[in-house]
Amino acid sequence: MTLEEVLSQKSAERAQCTGKALEEVLVTAMDNASLTVGVYECAKVMNLDPDSVSFCVLAVDEDFECDIALQIHFTLIQSFCFDNDISIVRVSDKQRLAEIVADKSEQLEDAHCVLITVRPANQSAACVKREHACEFRLLFLLKQNPSDGSWEDPSLEKLHLFCEESRSLNDWVPEISLPGR
């Protein structure tokens, strides 16, 4: 076995282990209204408030190879993420990603891009109060920062470390396998 094969095998094992972490982060972000779903919606967020973007997930499906417009969007999104130090991963099961993040029917169609955002410090006081009411329920999954309304998730930190390690192995957009139901 060559060194490249060993490195790619280790990368694949790491990607499988991080699938569960990605699912946990997506669910937590959805519960905290920190999730943006859809290529165009994600592009709007990146354009209007790039500092709020913490993590990006790109999902491919069987139509990806034939959809030139989607490939161009992915290239632009990847470039934006690289330029702004945003961790980015790819998943090959768009349908499973849509099952995790969808809260309305139109999101099932456009789950090719998902952003996890952190809340800006200037959010309304009502939102902060609502977050603090949920804080006790999410105590073990989520660490709230009451001073700025943002949240930190240990699984999100694991994903950031996974992306950093992948980049050190020249795997700039690592692929993660989401666990099945």
Show the tokens assigned to 145: 């920062």
pLDDT in tens, 39-55: 999 999 999 999 999 99
Show the tokens assigned to 62: 């069987």
CA atoms within 13 A on the CB side of 176: 28
CA distance 77 to 74: 5
Show the tokens assigned to 63: 């139509």
Helix, coil or strand: residue 3 = helix
pTM: 0.75
pLDDT in tens, 121-167: 334 333 433 443 333 333 333 333 433 445 678 889 999 999 998 88
Residue 38: left (phi > 0), alpha (psi -120 to 50), or beta? left
DSSP secondary structure letter of residue 88? E
CB count within 10 Å of CB 48 equals 8
